[in-house]
Amino acid sequence: MKHRWAHDCSLLRFVALGLLFVAVEACGGDDAEGTSGPAAAGDAMLADTSDAGAEVNAALDPDVGRSDAGAVDAPDAISDSVGSDAADSEAEAAADADAAAAAGDAGDIVDEPWTPPPHPHADSILLSDRFLNIAHRGGGRLAPEGTTPAYENAVAVGADVIECDVHSTADGVLVCMHDDTVDRTTDGTGTIHGFTFEELRALDAGYAFTRDGGASHPYRGTGVQVPTLEEFFATPDAIAFSIEIKQAAPMIAVEVVETIERLGVADRTVVASFPDHVIAVVREANPDLITALSLGEMLAWVRVRPADEAAYRPPGQVLQIPPAQGDLDLLAPELLARADRLGMKIQVWTINSRARMEELMDIGVDGIFTDDPALLQEVVDARE
């Protein structure tokens, strides 16, 4: 009982920190190694408490209350879905765990764990044993993040996968940008969904990029534009793609799936989204797509006890995770072993130091998201 209590407390911290991540993500700061977006926005979020965080904590265990990590205000469309979805996934996992425990000893690892059936895209590089160099937003340390120059440069320096975040314009065009506003990376202000595509294309998407702390801006005024999702998929010589659907309302998941299907890149694309209901729409639209686990699904995956594993069915094929959330080690040996038994791939974000890249490759992660794909490729090449 004491062990179960400690485990649940760690999960509470995971949920609260997950909400914190979603909120800080909206400001552009999701580097697991400590870099962040605008400091003022991040500090303001950290100072707030969140009804959504309290709701999740109460749903998991009303007696525990607010976690030590606190909670933060997330964007309304995201926090509502994450709060309810994570709680639902946790409740379902707990029910499954109790049912499985009734049939056997909860401390024993199952003798015959479930073996996943062959995936329709089993030959995809995304599901292979090859280690993947994943250019986070195209490699924002080397070129303007989320732009065609970044994606082309990432391919040139050896990235196996290029990654983008997806929103839609006011007139329904799917575009690549991490934030839901244009303020941080362009010379404009306002939400992406508040611009028509023509208005968005008029902005300078290379405006803010700098390699020297702001002393120079080599891409400013050079005609760099916000790319469409179609342009992202058309990156010359790109091997594979990772896309995260950032926009939860209005829903764009079906349009994203239709674009993937129309361009014939389903076998080279992994689709991710934090809200459970968004990734559920993706899977309903095309059950054969390669998908990453949502935030609620990741919580349920961590929550699975050894005796429950045979009854657990992962809803996706990929875990895209930071190395840890608070004191919960998401790369603990038992979790890595579970992922391997269940045929799941672990891709870790966002790693920008050589030493950390080396450490993660040593423990056997399947891929690393990085803002510096050239550095990661140096590490990979040195091991061959």
* Domain assignments of the chain as residue spans, ordered by start: 2-103
Q: What are phi and psi of 176, to 5 degrees?
A: -100, 115
User: Tokens 């991490």 appear where?
Assistant: 178
68-84 pLDDT, tens per residue? Answer: 222 223 333 333 444 44
Residues 6+ positions from 234 with CB-CB distance below 8 Å? 263
Say what the pLDDT of residue 178 is.
97
Q: How far apart are CA 16 and CA 62, in angstroms?
A: 14
Q: At what angle do helices 295-303 and 276-285 cross, to 10 degrees?
A: 100
Say what the pLDDT of residue 368 is.
98
pLDDT band for position 221 (cuts 50, 70, 90): very high
Q: Which residues in the chain belong to E strands, given as ranges?
A: 132-135, 161-168, 174-176, 240-245, 269-272, 290-291, 318-321, 324-325, 328-329, 345-348, 367-370
The structure tokens listed for 256 are: 């994203």
Q: For residues 338 and 310, is the Cβ–Cβ distance under 8 A?
A: no
Indicate whether this model's pTM tops 0.85: no
- Identify residue 276 by its one-letter amino acid code: D
Q: What are phi and psi of 252, to 5 degrees?
A: -125, 5
Cβ neighbour number for residue 179 with a 10 Å cutoff? 21
Residues 6+ positions from 305 with CB-CB distance below 8 Å? 97, 100, 101, 106
Q: Which of 377, 355, 370, 372 is nearest to 134 (CA)?
A: 370
Residue 7, classified by CB atoms within 10 Å of its CB into exposed (0-12), middle (13-18) or buried (19+), is middle
On average, the pLDDT of the chain sits at: 80
Say what the pLDDT of residue 384 is.
85
258-293 pLDDT, tens per residue? Answer: 999 999 999 999 999 999 999 999 999 999 999 999
Q: How far apart are CA 207 and CA 146, in angstroms?
A: 13
Find the range with the poorest average confidence among 32-36, 125-129, 170-174.
32-36
pLDDT higher than threshold 90 for residue 48: no
Say what the pLDDT of residue 329 is.
94
Say what the pLDDT of residue 163 is.
98
Say what the pLDDT of residue 44 is.
33
More confident: 236 or 8: 236
Q: For residues 90 and 59, is the Cβ–Cβ distance under 8 A?
A: yes
pLDDT band for position 47 (cuts 50, 70, 90): very low
Q: For residues 275 and 245, is the Cβ–Cβ distance under 8 A?
A: no
323-370 pLDDT, tens per residue? Answer: 998 888 999 999 999 999 999 999 999 999 999 999 999 999 999 999
